[in-house]
Structure 1
Amino acid sequence: MARLQPKTSVAPERLKTLLPSLKPTIYHDPSAKQVANNIRTIAWNPLGTYIATGCLDKTLRVWNVDKPNVRQTTELKGHAASIEKVAFNPVKEHELCSVSSDGVVRFWDVKMKQVLNEVKGLGETFTLAWAPHGEYVVVGNKEDKLFVISPSQDSPISSHQQPVQTNNIVFCWSGQRVFATTGDGKTRILSFPDFEPAYQFSYKEGSEAEFMLAGHTSSCIAVELHPFNRYLATGGTDSLISLWETAEWNCVRTATKMTGPVRSLSFSWDGLYIVGGSDEGSGLEVFNSETGEHLCTYKTTTPSPIVAWAPNRYALAFADSGSLRVIGASAGGK
């Protein structure tokens, strides 16, 4: 697998020709169901050395990026239903959080293969966001309730019923705001930890006073923050990716080349590129975040709804044909 040395950017004209030509490394799990949508979630650890995958068939596995053989992986067993979301602690390379529709949130030490903590009885949980310093996670369920959870406590610190369908959540880098995408195509900006609207119009009253990002004509389901806080990206079932600048919250550009609902979004480590995944179409769409230009399509065998850039190089992890796959680009094209 070709790689880019960390902290070396690749120019757009170079990336758009190099990326589509790269062959993926396939991380094959023979015990997992080989169906297109079995992998529900993918997450890199902070150093880009491990990738966790959570599956519809309850398989939770951590892969060594340099060793695609399943014998070199760690399987974490215990969830009784589909794994809907996984994410590594942003400041601890071996601490993983998993969220399942069985209503249980688990914290794992992947090196020791141990459960560090679990919180039960949360309903059909499916969203997860770590606070930037790793002290909390926010988990959401299908009843639109958000829970603040500590990695070391077996019950939620607090719970917050949301007034609208809440699809996805992400923290700002200060940890003082949470961005929540909604079923009516908007993105709410909420204070943390009290989950109140961060901005309101002084000349409006009640729920009408809340300032929200209205960027989609149908449900907004994906959200990602630029690594240097330049943009917030949102994706919707309207096949659009909207990029919002974070000073005045204006929508500065919209990417329109996606096919089908935008299920996942990911910025490259330097923020220059954004990739979108969908459960329709036949590839991953890569855009220049500074211009909105569609750079290339990375062709896949099946639709790839889940995709994530590595945190420190141009390597893309994605789901295709029921397997984890990783491609990487290097500045020298090696």
Structure 2
Amino acid sequence: MAPAPRRDLLAKEHFAFVFGSAKTQQYTDPAARGPGSHTIRTLAWNPTGQLIATGSADRTLRIWNPERPSPKYSTELRGHSAGIEKVLFNPVRDAELASCSTDGTVRFWDVRSKTCVSRLDVGGEAFTLSWSADGSTMVVGKKDDTLIPISVQSPSSPNIIGNESNGAGRSSYSVSKPGASTYTALTPHPQPVQTNATTFSHHVASPTSPDLHLFATTGDGTVKIMSYPSFDILHTLNAHTSACMAISLAPTGKYLAIGGSDALISLWDTTDWICQRTLSSENGGGIRGVSWSFDGRFLCGACDEQGCGGNGLEIFHAETGESVYTVPTTGVNAGVPAVAWHPSRYWLAYSTTNDGPGSGGPGGLKIVGAGGKEQR
């Protein structure tokens, strides 16, 4: 796949105009059979932004071409026997997808051949994944608050076919076809508190700096910063007054965004670990997911509670904390379970629920910006 073109950075003052004039594309999954039957819980773009994966409560895993919303251009990947909780592409291998499910498995897929290339039984309900920046390590979170590392070994180094700055201080990669990788579950690490979500730092391990940083949100309102692979706690952030449920590191590495059940998103400066500001949506409801735009300047949160989508999906400017635009979402009872920014464009993917009367229309995947020519 050719790398997606780099986009000019968008000024805060122009944001409302761009999103206000952008079309929203609807993607209707043929597996949806009625209200509440097909809630998309998780979204993920591949590294080039030319594919997007969706995982649903009814165990449907689908790969979409964002340029072609018709389901005939999508691919269903079959294998999970229960709801899919998280999907995530390998950051440096554009056709390698991981998914986890309450069926107790983590599956790895080659989306080109449409096959499951590996399945790991993790011995419990898996509900979250995070992948290291170089794609060599994954951490799986289970509902019994156990973290399981997975080693991902490829027969040869990925062939990078594009490597340029995305304008935000971080390189963007496009990668050629992966070879047959091997996946090995390592020693589990039970956690002493409820552990909800994890993410890795952008650091890539090297002989001089072999350890990575792993961030884990907890049910007591803290975020643990751990050294990987030892899982030793380096620092604890007292982030929220109630459970921390979502976490995302800005592409620039400048801020760590933490979403809480208190309906707030807190932004932490990664140089001194001081909270710079908190963001609050008019919709209220616990923050289940947080996503950054490719330039690290805009972010939004997902809330799957009823009514969260009634007033729209708010987008915030990170440096000022201002709400710069609200994406209209249909339905006073609709929730927005998942959001995901495109890796190199100002396109925003999100899902909505369709919980029957008052939901305002069909749920499923929507992408702001994919329905027409991009404006600047």
Deviates more, 1:143-152 or 1:285-294: 143-152
Give, in angstroms, the shift of residue 35 of structure 1.
3.8
Between stretches 212-221 and 18-27, larger displacement belongs to 18-27
3-state DSSP class of the match of 2:288?
strand
Which has the higher mean CA deviation after the structures are superposed, 269-278 or 48-57? 269-278
CA distance in 1, matches of 2:49, 2:191: 34
For 1:33 and 1:96, locate their aligned partners in 2 and report how far apart those are by CA, in whole Å: 26
Task: Give the structure-2-normalised TM-score.
Answer: 0.81
- What is the alpha-carbon distance in structure 2 between the residues aligned to residue 332 and residue 57 of structure 1? 33
CA contact (8 A) 1:145 1:161 kept: yes
Map 1:234-253; keep pairs closer than 5 Å.
Answer: 234-253=258-277
Supply the AA of the counterpart residue of 2:339.
V
> Does residue 109 of structure 1 match 2:110?
yes
The answer (yes or no) to whether the contact 2:226–2:233 under 8 Å persists in 1 is: yes
Name the counterpart of 1:225. Answer: 249
Shift in CA distance, 236/46, structure 1 to aligned 2, threshold 3 Å = same
1:142 aligns with 2:146: no
Match of 1:19 in 2: 19
Alignment of 1:86-125 (within 5 A): 86-125=87-126
Aligned pair count? 319
1:102 Cα shift?
Answer: 0.4
The residue number in structure 2 matching 1:172 is 201
CA-atom RMSD in angstroms: 1.9
Describe the shift of the 1:33–1:244 C-alpha distance in structure 2 as closer, same or farther (beyond 3 A).
farther
- How much has 1:121 moved relative to structure 2? 3.7
Residue of 263, 287, 290 corresponding to 1:262: 287
Equivalent residues of 2:40, 2:337 under 8 A apart: no
Picking from 259, 274, 277, the partner of 2:299 is 274
Superposed displacement of residue 32, structure 1: 2.3
1:177-229 deviation line (CA, Å, top 9, x unaligned): 1100000111110110111102xxxxxxxxxxxx3111211111010001010
Going from structure 1 to structure 2, the CA distance change for 1:5 and 1:35 (only over 3 Å counts) comes to farther
Q: 5+ unaligned residues in a row in structure 2: which ranges?
A: 153-180, 205-211, 353-361
Q: Which residue of 2 aligns with 1:300?
A: 329
Listed one character per residue, the Cα deviations across residues 240-276 of structure 1 (whole Å, up to 9, x for unaligned) are 0100000110001111225211111111000110111
1:287 matched residue in structure 2: 316
- Is 1:213 the counterpart of 2:214? The answer is no
Where in structure 2 are the equivalents of 1:11-50 lying within 5 Å? 11-35=11-35, 38-50=39-51
Aligned sequence identity (%): 46
The residue identity in structure 1 corresponding to 2:44 is: A
Task: Tell me, in whole angstroms, the C-alpha distance in 1 between the residues paired with 2:136 and 2:33.
Answer: 34
Offset at residue 307 of structure 1 (A):
0.4
Q: CA deviation at 1:150?
A: 2.6
Distance 1:289 1:331 in 2: 26
For the 8 Å contact 2:248–2:256, the answer to whether it is kept is: yes
* Pair 1:181 & 2:206 matched: no
Offset at residue 130 of structure 1 (A): 0.6
How far apart, in 1, do the equivalents of 2:143 and 2:194 lie? 8
CA distance in 2, matches of 1:5, 1:327: 18
Q: Is the 8 A contact 1:6 1:312 kept in 2?
A: yes
CA contact (8 A) 2:201 2:213 kept: yes
What letter is aligned with 1:78?
A: G
Q: 1:136 to 1:332 in 2, by over 3 A?
A: closer
Instruction: Give the aligned partner of residue 204 of structure 1.
Output: none
| Preserved CA contact (<8 Å) 1:9 1:331 | no
**Corresponding residue for 1:201?**
none
TM-score by length of 1: 0.91
Give SS of 1:158's match.
Answer: coil
Q: Is 313-322 or 138-147 further displaced after alignment?
A: 313-322
In 1, the alpha carbon distance for the partners of 2:92 and 2:240 equals 33
Question: Is residue 277–residue 285 contact of structure 1 (8 Å, CA) maintained in 2?
Answer: no
